[in-house]
Amino acid sequence: MSILDKVVAAVTPLESDEQRAEARTKAHNAATDGDWLSLVLDHHRQIESLFAAVKAATDSASRVRAQKRLALILTGHSIAEEVVIYPALVKANEQAHSTKAYTEQSAAKVQMALLEDLEPMSQEYLDKLEHILGAVSHHVYEEEGTWFLELKEKLPPADQTKITFRYQEEFLRYTGDPEDTAYDAIATVSGSVLSDEVSGAKTRN
């Protein structure tokens, strides 16, 4: 672990597993099936599983493959939040949370890039991976425990629907997952608020 990693780890508060579970339960209860918050929570769980897969890999080739999958989903998720959800925090008068969110995710991207330069089966690699996981877990705790609950409370239904569509649109733009049926799901839940916009976007894509 680098000196920078040690400094960051020392000043980053670590929540207990119980606190993180409580935050997730609150977020889950605030979400509705198919809305932006439920999509975010699905991605958070997927990212956690991918971190575990990288750590559990038993050879260099499988670890690199797992790392690339983690990077794809983590970056796609981050971009979707940065383009859609964090601006919505500003709209909800939560500028401080938005600024902190951008800063934390930028740092995670830097650390993921540095991870690529390390020998996959080395202890240095595992230390770096653990540092990134800790930072991402803390960021997730902030989102699920406070930031996104406030966003769900403050913005009107029309904005919530638009965020749902735009979040998944940006995620798919990066990941290009051909198996994702988000457009059909979003068209169903959007009703009349975004029906024209959804239909137009689906036709273009």
Report CA dihedral (162, 164, 104, 77) to the nearest 10 degrees.
-130
> CATH assignment of 27-177, given 3.30.1130.10, 3.40.50.2000, 1.10.1740.10, 1.20.120.520?
1.20.120.520
Residue 149 and residue 30 in contact, taking contact as beta carbons nearer than 8 Å: yes
Examine the pLDDT at 184 and tell me if it is beyond 50.
no
Give the pLDDT band of residue 188 (cuts 50, 70, 90): very low
Alpha-carbon distance 33 to 49, whole Å? 21
- CA dist., res. 152 & res. 30, Å (int): 7
**How do residues 63-119 score in pLDDT, each as one tens digit?**
999 999 999 999 999 999 999 999 999 999 999 999 999 999 999 999 999 999 999
**Sign of the CA dihedral with 140 first, then 88, 177, and 129 last:** negative
Instruction: Tell me whether residue 87 is exposed, middle or buried, using C-beta atoms within 10 angstroms of its C-beta: 0 to 12, 13 to 18, 19 or more.
Output: middle
Q: Considering the entire predicted model, what is its pTM?
A: 0.81
- Helix (H) / strand (E) containing 73: helix 60-80
The per-residue pLDDT for range 20-70, each reduced to its tens digit, is 999 999 999 999 999 999 999 999 999 999 999 999 999 999 999 999 999
Total residues found in the chain within this entry: 205
Nearest to 193 by CA among 165, 158, 167: 158
Domain parsing of the chain, residue ranges: 27-177
